[in-house]
Structure 1
Amino acid sequence: MSRNIAPATISSPDDLAEYWIANAEPLDPNSASDYTKRHIHSEIYKRHANINAVVHSHSDAVIPYTIMSVALRACYHMAGFLGAEGVLVYNITEYLEQGDLRDMLVRNEHLGSALARFFDDGNSVTLMCGHGFTTVGDSIQQAVLQAVYTQKNAAIQTAALTIGAPSASMAPRAALSSIQYLTKEEAQATADMTKWSSGRPWKLWTREVEASGLYVNSA
């Protein structure tokens, strides 16, 4: 994992640290355990042997759906993995124990373990109340793709809700019911499609990173 630095500033192996899955402690005993939320990753890997990549995000577009009763649902063909019923929301306050800091961060094993359970039954995305979301996949490419399309789906759904409620007098329920979300069958089929077609956007994104002056690779 990256050390406690902004991900976009990672430029060499020195910016990475290895941790034990069992307890999220660094392999190198002389290395600082400085990445606060490493238990998000370690507990998911510990519970789910089939998961090989975890992406955690603080997307502004998604956070409103973590703090409202409006569920984030798949509403376009690139986000079928979100499902037709609404994405689950992990509320950390329900799992805090005596002595835990109330700073909304997953700082220890029991908070990470509670989050990891949300990925049972093949769930690939979990919202985190007042925080962001976490998505998992069998590869880095899949997890990144889901992170990008989760954010895009949230923006599309918000735009649709805004269009569906042109005036304050319109009942919120009416605006919600006016959106045509993906059905269960459509969500499954499009999730499969997004997975097998992932090479196209992935090549574009990697090229954009290579062409950007922000990212440096000194490895």
Structure 2
Amino acid sequence: MVSQISSELIHKYIDGCHMLHQHGLVDAYGHLSVRLSPSTFLMSRYMAPALVAGKEDLVIYKVEDGEPVDANAPRGFSERYIHSEAYKAYPSITAVVHSHALSVIPFSVSSTPMSACFHMAGFLGQKVPVWDCDTVYTAEDSHDMLVRNNKLGASLARALGDETGQNCKHAVALMRGHGMVVVAESLEMVIFRSIYTAQNAQIQQNAIGIGGAVKLFSAKECVDSAQKTSGGAVKPWPLWTQEVEKSNMYENASNC
């Protein structure tokens, strides 16, 4: 039950939803989740992330099938399978974001890959994978670009993996004509990665627009800069918390 989750985690989760909105990663659409156990995870009910305010807005889901633990839970997101299948595939993942950030979508439909070119986003590597729902759809599926079932969610999760399919290799996968999925081993880091993925995408687009050659990160630069920022959320998190908690836009009614 949601009432049994620590107030600290609930408070942090709600702030995270608000941070994603404040930084333009979500509007009325998009969502954040956090793993509670090997078999369960937490998400908000079907609502805009900026409006998530208290325990009554939260739902616990099963990793196995993406269905709510409580059969009487409020309506959830149709794309919760993005989250459940990522958790199922990779036990190391603790938090997931699905975003429609406008700066990343051009790279999901272009032959130019999104690549790390900004020192805060070395975790992107030299080529962010693009998952194409068209490779999974059957004639019976609704071709609405949404991840509405376990089959599509599992296929998207595989795009994050290595050649063996056993290990999570990528922190981010783009979704053609749709957005991105971002994963991390903590709630703080999934927010960090989401924000700096969108910034890297904007920087790369701006550099391409200037014209001339664009020098992207080498493999070692990706690894070393990612390592340098691996604990990077420690510094900005208090700032981002203050920004959303001092804003009249957001309400966080949880006790902490």
| TM-score, normalised with respect to structure 2 | 0.78
Gap runs ≥5 in structure 2: 1-42, 163-168
Measured after TM superposition, the shift of residue 29 of structure 1 is 1.1
Cα RMSD for the two superposed structures: 1.0
Gap runs ≥5 in structure 1: 165-174
State the distance in 2 between where 1:196 and 1:31 align.
Answer: 35
Q: Is the 8 A contact 1:125 1:136 kept in 2?
A: yes
Q: Which residue matches 1:172?
A: none
Q: Is the 8 A contact 2:59 2:74 kept in 1?
A: no
State the distance in 2 between where 1:14 and 1:92 align.
Answer: 33
State the distance in 2 between where 1:61 and 1:134 align.
Answer: 14
State the distance in 2 between where 1:5 and 1:183 align.
Answer: 40
**Equivalent of residue 180 in structure 1, options 215, 226, 241:** 215
**Which has a greater percent of strand?**
2
Equivalent position amino acid for 2:220 in 1: E
State the distance in 2 between where 1:12 and 1:200 align.
Answer: 26
Q: Is the 8 A contact 2:129 2:160 kept in 1?
A: no
Alignment partner of 1:119 is 2:160: yes
State the distance in 1 between where 2:178 and 2:217 align.
Answer: 26
State the distance in 2 between where 1:209 and 1:33 align.
Answer: 26
Number of paired residues? 206
Measured after TM superposition, the shift of residue 32 of structure 1 is 4.2
Measured after TM superposition, the shift of residue 98 of structure 1 is 3.1
State the distance in 1 between where 2:49 and 2:74 align.
Answer: 17
**Equivalent of residue 107 in structure 1, options 148, 163, 170:** 148
Alignment partner of 1:162 is 2:204: no
CA deviations over 1:92-125 (Å, ceiling 9, x no partner): 1110123211111100010000001112132110
State the distance in 1 between where 2:238 and 2:229 align.
Answer: 14
After TM superposition, list the pairs within 5 Å mapping 1:191-202 onto structure 2: 191-202=226-237
Secondary structure at 1:120's aligned position in 2?
Answer: coil
Alignment partner of 1:90 is 2:137: no
Identity %: 42
**Equivalent of residue 205 in structure 1, options 240, 245, 248:** 240
Q: Is the 8 A contact 1:26 1:32 kept in 2?
A: no
Q: Is the 8 A contact 2:123 2:226 kept in 1?
A: yes
Secondary structure at 1:18's aligned position in 2?
Answer: strand
Equivalent position amino acid for 2:214 in 1: I
Measured after TM superposition, the shift of residue 188 of structure 1 is 0.4
CA deviations over 1:47-77 (Å, ceiling 9, x no partner): 1111010011100111111111111000010
| TM-score, normalised with respect to structure 1 | 0.91
CA deviations over 1:153-198 (Å, ceiling 9, x no partner): 000001101101xxxxxxxxxx4xx011111001000001111232
Measured after TM superposition, the shift of residue 145 of structure 1 is 0.6
Q: Is the 8 A contact 2:95 2:183 kept in 1?
A: yes
CA deviations over 1:127-169 (Å, ceiling 9, x no partner): 00000001100001111111000000000001101101xxxxx
